[in-house]
Structure 1
Amino acid sequence: MRLASLAPGLVALRGYRPSQDLFRDVFAGLSVAAVALPVSIAYAELAGLPPVTGLYASILPLLAYALFGTSRQLMVNPDAATCAMLAAAVTPLAGGDPGLYAAMVMVLTLFTGLFCILASLFRLGVLADFLSRPILIGFLNGISFSIVLGQIGKLLGFSVHSGGIIPRLLEIIQKLPQTHTPTLLLGLFSFAVLLLSQRLLPRIPAALLVLVLGALAVWLLDLTSINVAVLAPVQAGLPPLKLPSAPLSALPSLAGSSAGVALVLFTSGTITCRSFASRGGYRIDVDRELVAYGVANMASALSGGFAVTGADSRTAMAVTSGGRSQVTGLVAAAALASILLWFTAPMQFVPLAALGAVLMLAAYSLFDLASLKRLWTLDRKEFALSLITSLGVVTLGAINGILIAVALAVIRFVKHTARPRVELLGRVKGLQGFHSLQTHPDGKAVPGLMLFRFNAPLVFFNADHFLEQSRRAVAEATPKPQWFVVDAIPMDRIDISGVNALQQLNQFLESEGIRLVLAGRRSEFIQGLKAMGMDSPTLEQKLFPTLHQAVRAFRMTPGQPGM
């Protein structure tokens, strides 16, 4: 049982059935490696690191997740969003020093892993639900735009040095006359291959095909002689294991950024993980997933890689290729390690324009216009939140953009909880029960009663609002009700401030000749009031299990019309 808690993947592997699953897992693992190879190299470029680090980030993390993860299908690999966040966080700190930059990225990745494990100890898996869907849509849309803008220079054959969206756009426009025609043609060819292969050869990884054809073109036509930019030579051999280090002065900034990276990679990875688990008919443990992501990122940092998360494209490849267990990830890791050992030489012919095309198509897949339209239709405020997140990402950078979005989400949550919707209820013809009179203008209040619903827990930060809204409802009522009935079902928690608000409301209503009644959660109220030493037979007579019973009791009192 202890082993299952520490390494659930290892327990699953102990029951592995080679005769039934090995062939499918090996085939799926090789397919995943074929997709992961070009994507990992491209994402290393996006993160501002040497291409080989993309492969480093794709070997030990796959092994770590296979042992510690709770999904038998998820593949952990570099991801466009996290790579963009890494670059945004570290570039201002490194001062243009490539060695220092790489070291800081690895330290940030190590901190990210530690943050994930620490969050698991406090059972903060609920953080996966904190970044709402509109925030994630806005974040990924902003990242998508930033990636496209960052790759235009690779396709046109010149470098872009400006930071920020407007300065970068202006620099690109100014340098358009410097466009290198052979590079542009190679980039357009890469786009054509990507788009056509997805339609005509769906079983062949499009990104791998583009890199292979691009490398062949560079080699056969000697394109480097006409200044077509290619990857630097890729160092052969497995990654050395070492503890990364960075200047002490940079550690606070790196630690702060790691929290944002951890939140985003865990949230986006968990969405992918839950999606495939739902299709596969099994459940995942989000707190154990935090540990798995933490160990995977620490393994990546110790082996010279960078931040990783659940990768949707590689997970989809594993599933569609027939992968059935964690062995798929182990085979993919072994295949990538073999490439590092024996097949790195051809990578030096891969053109940067082809990598730029791969990244731009990946960025396009991140952009979710359909969801934006849906948000506009369903909730304009959620649409605005998503748009603000996108603008924050493209203008202030990925880290600051997500922090702004989270702050806005917290403010909105507090506002909704501190100032929840208040409703007066009544009967609606053709509908059973009691319904909001604001929503149903044709509804009618129950004569002699005011049915009042407060749609939130009654606690210290909204108790005054509850009291104010209750008094206002009574003051505006014509004629005044005889009973003021509070629908307590939405009040799943009432603290001492809430109890005091109810007492003040009761005193106010008594001065107006109105009786206060609570409907719903009767047993909870009685137990809670007894615990506070405030119970009394008179008080219990004001508590009813449901609104229906409160209305029935009112109608049975002397002088009221019968049922």
Structure 2
Amino acid sequence: MKNRVVLDWLFNYDKHNLKGDLTAGLIVAIMLVPQGMAYAMLAGMPPVTGLYAAAIPILLYALVGSSRQLAVGPVAVVSLLVYAGISPLAEPGSDEYITLALLLMLMVGVMQLLMGVLKLGFIVKFFSHAVISAFTSAAAIIIAFSQLDHILGFSIESEHLVMTIIEAVSRITEINGWALMIAAASIIIMLAVKKYVPVLPGPLAAVLFGIAVVSWFQLNQEGVSIIGEVPGGLPSFVLPAISLESAAALLPTALTITFIGFMESFAMAKVIASKENYRISANRELSGLGLANAGGSFFGGFPVTGGFSRSAVNYDAGAKTPLASVVTALLIMLILVFFTGAFYYLPNAVLAAVIILAVYKLIDIKEAKSLFKIRRIDGVVWFVTFASTLFIGVEQGIFIGIGFSLLVFIWQSAYPHTAELGYLKKEDIYRNIKRFPEAAVKEDMFILRVDAPLYFANAGFTGDKLEQVVYERKDLNHIILDFSGVNSIDAVALHEVERWKHDFEIQDIKVTIVEMKGPVRDIFRKAGWPEEELHRTLRKEAAATS
């Protein structure tokens, strides 16, 4: 059947993929346990909910998603957005907070499902890459500094980045040396494992180290905060409490997570699919993530998406089909049933180290430099988004960035590129006189090439340019508009062109339009223009002018 989902990979399963899928599933599960608990802490949720969010959603995504290697679960940026959106409404970790997190997860899932069903995956193409790069870079910095209290061993009251740094510096004498040492050692261990024993998950080594040190020396009695009791057993089925008032308050956060989560997930899925030479569907990815979030909201999690690092590990470990994700989910469930007690002495400093090491790679200053070098305005968009996210707020930053990038687009389209053309006799061709100063220009003729679609917002700019030229050139008697770069024109712009033609011809200045493309010609034809005026060429019209 053409529309099969599960059957495509399950009932046609190639047994040669089994070893790679089992290995990848095991490695990702081991990696996901500390990451899931760390990201739950970042989201303001109890650590065990990170395992809930790592188990059920990944199974649901495997049913619908089109990527064979994408590892769905908690990720740093989405966890930060959860905290930023819910913490003003409820105390992190409280029952009310957890209830709102489940509602938020359900809202994200429903939005993504609807977008997938309605085939709205194309919407994310309107999100500037500069905005996403800047947002994730700034969010990574915020995430890293949000872990200072766990690393330094005392509670930091400030939530704003600058105030957090100031408070941490002012209270430097209160640092818990054991917590700082554990965090630093965990980072060193993870880096060393990655360099010298890359087949082993570094976060797991750090977790084992942290548990061993704290339990051996009883450092929890020395002020080192630990996870403590982690409830055992599979997550219970629970209906999210739906409140219109709460849903309205969470709507901006839900929208942000819906788009940011999908873009992060889809970007990684595309990278892997291109390497494996298969196609993925944006709409199926939306449906898969939507099902993962909507279904996961009934089992005590918080919003999830496809993660960069885990997906890369899943792929590198040999995953060939979604069976690897199924194996990961089943192993997480086994851990929930039998091994949650082993995490009692896990220090929060280790989880903080896991988070910091996971997010520092998201800080993409290289991309900012590249944008400024290639096209300055894109660099400005990056900087505005980055600064807004860093100093105003996470949700505000992404919306400011999107709004600013759209304003830049509107401004650019309202002021299209135009070029006065001159004649190069040797090549027998017309070129932009700014790029080819040697091109000959006649005083009684002005040739303007418009390099953009003409519509209601930018037609006035072109008209102003023509009026300026008419004012400056007293001997002008012929204006030629080269429409070779005009792909479309709306009715308002067409009326503007007709007005120019009428007004200038009253002044004995002929107006000719040349090199019309088919779609533009069709619009002029519907407006009643004579057929002979729709097929003029630049070479012939320019040569005819004395």
TM-score normalised by the chain length of structure 2: 0.94
Q: In structure 2, which of residues 482, 486, 507 is the aligned counterpart of residue 486 of structure 1?
A: 482
Which residue is equivalent to 2:108?
112
Which residue is equivalent to 1:270?
266
Q: In structure 1, which of residues 378, 385, 388 is the aligned counterpart of residue 374 of structure 2?
A: 378
Unmatched 5+ residue regions in structure 1?
A: none
In the TM superposition, residue 200 of structure 1 has moved relative to its aligned partner by: 1.1
Helix, strand or coil for the counterpart of 1:57? helix
Q: In structure 2, which of residues 530, 536, 543 is the aligned counterpart of residue 536 of structure 1?
A: 530
Which residue is equivalent to 1:145?
141
Is 1:398 matched with 2:394?
yes
Residues 177 and 488 of structure 1: CA distance in aligned 2, closer, same or farther (over 3 Å): same
Quick one: distance in 1 between partners of 2:336 and 2:408? Answer: 49
In the TM superposition, residue 246 of structure 1 has moved relative to its aligned partner by: 5.3
Is 1:551 matched with 2:539?
yes
Q: Is the 8 A contact 2:516 2:534 kept in 1?
A: no
Spell out, residue by residue over 1:255-295, the C-alpha distance to the aligned partner (whole angstroms, 9 max, x if none). 23201111111112221122222222222221222211211
Q: Any residues of structure 2 matched to 1:510-521 within 5 Å, and which? A: 510-521=505-516
Q: Is the 8 A contact 2:483 2:516 kept in 1?
A: no
What one-letter code is carried by the residue in structure 2 that aligns with 1:342?
Answer: F
Which stretch shifts more, 239-248 or 494-503?
A: 239-248
Which residue is equivalent to 2:193?
197
Q: Is the 8 A contact 2:445 2:478 kept in 1?
A: yes
Which residue is equivalent to 1:12?
9
Residues 512 and 279 of structure 1: CA distance in aligned 2, closer, same or farther (over 3 Å): farther
Helix, strand or coil for the counterpart of 1:3? coil
Spell out, residue by residue over 1:334-393, the C-alpha distance to the aligned partner (whole angstroms, 9 max, x if none). 111111111111111211111111111122111112112212322332222212212222
In the TM superposition, residue 204 of structure 1 has moved relative to its aligned partner by: 1.1
What one-letter code is carried by the residue in structure 2 that aligns with 1:536?
Answer: P
Residues 391 and 64 of structure 1: CA distance in aligned 2, closer, same or farther (over 3 Å): same
Quick one: distance in 1 between partners of 2:419 and 2:118? Answer: 37
Quick one: distance in 2 between partners of 1:327 and 1:77? Answer: 15
Is 1:131 matched with 2:123?
no
Is 1:337 matched with 2:354?
no
Residues 522 and 401 of structure 1: CA distance in aligned 2, closer, same or farther (over 3 Å): closer
Which stretch shifts more, 300-309 or 222-231?
A: 222-231
Quick one: distance in 2 between partners of 1:213 and 1:463? Answer: 67
Q: Any residues of structure 2 matched to 1:6-45 within 5 Å, and which? A: 7=5, 10-18=7-15, 20-45=16-41
What one-letter code is carried by the residue in structure 2 that aligns with 1:551?
Answer: R
Helix, strand or coil for the counterpart of 1:451? strand
Which residue is equivalent to 2:357?
361
Spell out, residue by residue over 1:170-222, the C-alpha distance to the aligned partner (whole angstroms, 9 max, x if none). 22122211111111111111121122112111121111111111112222222
Q: Any residues of structure 2 matched to 1:74-473 within 5 Å, and which? A: 74-95=70-91, 98-245=94-241, 247-427=243-423, 434-445=430-441, 449-473=445-469
Which stretch shifts more, 38-47 or 508-517?
A: 508-517
Helix, strand or coil for the counterpart of 1:426? strand
Residues 28 and 429 of structure 1: CA distance in aligned 2, closer, same or farther (over 3 Å): farther
Helix, strand or coil for the counterpart of 2:447? strand
In the TM superposition, residue 427 of structure 1 has moved relative to its aligned partner by: 4.8
Which stretch shifts more, 245-254 or 57-66?
A: 245-254
Quick one: distance in 1 between partners of 2:437 and 2:10? Answer: 61
Helix, strand or coil for the counterpart of 1:59? helix
Quick one: distance in 1 between partners of 2:426 and 2:198? Answer: 54
Spell out, residue by residue over 1:456-480, the C-alpha distance to the aligned partner (whole angstroms, 9 max, x if none). 2212222222322233234444752
Q: Any residues of structure 2 matched to 1:499-514 within 5 Å, and which? A: 499-514=494-509
Is 1:497 matched with 2:489?
no
Quick one: distance in 2 between partners of 1:24 and 1:341? Answer: 26
Is 1:52 matched with 2:48?
yes
Spell out, residue by residue over 1:126-175, the C-alpha distance to the aligned partner (whole angstroms, 9 max, x if none). 22222212111210111111112111111111111212122222221222
Q: Is the 8 A contact 1:131 1:267 kept in 2?
A: no
Which stretch shifts more, 444-453 or 319-328?
A: 444-453
In the TM superposition, residue 12 of structure 1 has moved relative to its aligned partner by: 3.5
Residues 279 and 261 of structure 1: CA distance in aligned 2, closer, same or farther (over 3 Å): same
Q: Is the 8 A contact 1:103 1:245 kept in 2?
A: yes
Aligned length: 546
Q: What percentage of aligned pairs have identical amino acids?
A: 27
Q: Is the 8 A contact 2:443 2:475 kept in 1?
A: no
What one-letter code is carried by the residue in structure 2 that aligns with 1:269?
Answer: S
Which stretch shifts more, 84-93 or 72-81?
A: 72-81
Helix, strand or coil for the counterpart of 2:87? helix
In the TM superposition, residue 93 of structure 1 has moved relative to its aligned partner by: 0.7
What one-letter code is carried by the residue in structure 2 that aligns with 1:28?
Answer: A
Residues 446 and 171 of structure 1: CA distance in aligned 2, closer, same or farther (over 3 Å): same
Residues 323 and 442 of structure 1: CA distance in aligned 2, closer, same or farther (over 3 Å): farther
Which stretch shifts more, 46-55 or 269-278?
A: 269-278
Residues 381 and 526 of structure 1: CA distance in aligned 2, closer, same or farther (over 3 Å): closer
Q: Is the 8 A contact 1:265 1:308 kept in 2?
A: yes
In the TM superposition, residue 430 of structure 1 has moved relative to its aligned partner by: 8.8
Residues 474 and 3 of structure 1: CA distance in aligned 2, closer, same or farther (over 3 Å): same
Residues 523 and 247 of structure 1: CA distance in aligned 2, closer, same or farther (over 3 Å): closer
Quick one: distance in 1 between partners of 2:341 and 2:240? Answer: 27
Helix, strand or coil for the counterpart of 2:228? coil
Unmatched 5+ residue regions in structure 2?
A: none
What one-letter code is carried by the residue in structure 1 that aligns with 2:9?
Answer: A
Q: Is the 8 A contact 1:526 1:535 kept in 2?
A: no
Helix, strand or coil for the counterpart of 1:339? helix
Residues 554 and 299 of structure 1: CA distance in aligned 2, closer, same or farther (over 3 Å): same
What one-letter code is carried by the residue in structure 1 that aligns with 2:378?
Answer: E
Q: Is the 8 A contact 1:449 1:485 kept in 2?
A: no
Quick one: distance in 1 between partners of 2:155 and 2:219? Answer: 18
Q: Is the 8 A contact 2:44 2:93 kept in 1?
A: no
Quick one: distance in 2 between partners of 1:506 and 1:382? Answer: 37
